[in-house]
Chain A
Amino acid sequence: MKYLKYLIVILFIFNFNLSNAQDKSLHSKITKNLRCLICQGQSVYDSDSEFADSIRIFVEKKISEGESEKQIYGYLKDKYGEWILYEPQFSKKTYFLWLLPILMFVLGGAIILKIFYLKKN
């Protein structure tokens, strides 16, 4: 019974650490995908500017309120536009950007197949 108590306490602490770590990794994942709008070429995660600092606190608050990654991106996109996201979402404006690598892959495959086909014949 005594050992069971210890086990529960250990499990509780371990679980708490795990959820905290998950929150932290989600926080860094989100802030790494946000562009610092007032510094050139830096993410919110990397920048020391006041703006980036405020965004980091803002993201932390939203995560603690239970908002999802997508909701946070949507919220910031609404405030600052698509430019704040390093990874643009799939939309009418960005479909070419997303489909181009697939198109290139298919095209490359077709070229290789064609060469093999020609060599065989």
Chain B
Amino acid sequence: MRTKIFPIFLIIIFFIIFLIFYKGLENSNLYIPKINIEKDIPSFNAEIFDSDNRINSDDIFKNDKFYLINIWASWCVPCKDEHSFLMSLSNQKNIEIIGLNYKDNNQKAKKFLKELNSPYKIILSDKDGTIAIELGAYGVPETFLIYNKKIIKKIVGPLNGNLLGEIKKIIQ
């Protein structure tokens, strides 16, 4: 009797393991960033673009106000595509757009803004990319909508008409 229980027990165990791995095969192995998590904005100290002064994030973000942090660079082609959407958003009264210039050359970034105009109220400089990491960003362009010092929406990639509509809907 005991010798019969053992093989049955083994078969059941292997069957369970097989089922778990078989189920696992159906899971996607592609990484999709989570974009709708409410997280507090991290506290960071950044250099103001084209100046020697520094500013703390606590002095930028106030409660009861919408902010849009946009990570951009002059070498980033999709950033040019989304620029017109940022310009149209900069006309809105209830939102302030903060630019984070990512691993860029100052002269080239200034030329970029001269050509396309600046939608930003403040531009911060992120020479080594660590502020972007503090924010939980993947690269450029990336945009964070902030309210009450919390990230309420994260957009990975360039802005488009639909996303702009969504942002306008939220801030109204």
Residues on A facing B (Cβ under 8 Å): 37-38, 49-51, 53-55, 57-58, 61, 79-81, 83, 96, 100, 107, 111, 114, 118
Contact = CB atoms under 8 A, between A and B. Distances in A.
B130 A57 contact: yes
A77 B171 CA distance: 30
Nearest to A100: B17
Contact of A50 (B3, B10, B129, B136): B129
A38 B13 CA distance: 38
A58 B133 contact: yes
Contacts of A107: 10, 13
Interface of B: 3, 6, 10, 13, 17, 20, 31, 33-34, 103, 128-130, 132-134, 136, 138-140
A54 B136 contact: no
B10 A54 contact: no
Contact of B138 (A51, A57, A58): A51
B31 A58 contact: no
Contact of B136 (A38, A80, A83, A111): A80
A32 B58 CA distance: 34
A54 B31 contact: no
A37 to B, nearest CB: 6
A51 B13 CA distance: 42
24 contacts: A37-B31, A37-B33, A49-B139, A50-B103, A50-B129, A50-B139, A50-B140, A51-B139, A54-B103, A54-B128, A54-B129, A54-B133, A57-B129, A58-B129, A79-B133, A79-B134, A79-B136, A81-B34, A83-B31, A96-B20, A100-B17, A107-B10, A107-B13, A114-B6
Nearest to B20: A96
Nearest to A52: B129
A53 B129 contact: yes
A81 B130 CA distance: 17
A107 B17 CA distance: 13
Contacts of B139: 38, 49-51
Nearest to B2: A114
Given A54-B133, A57-B128, A100-B17, 12 more contacts: A37-B33, A38-B138, A51-B139, A54-B103, A54-B129, A54-B130, A54-B132, A58-B134, A79-B136, A83-B31, A96-B20, A107-B10
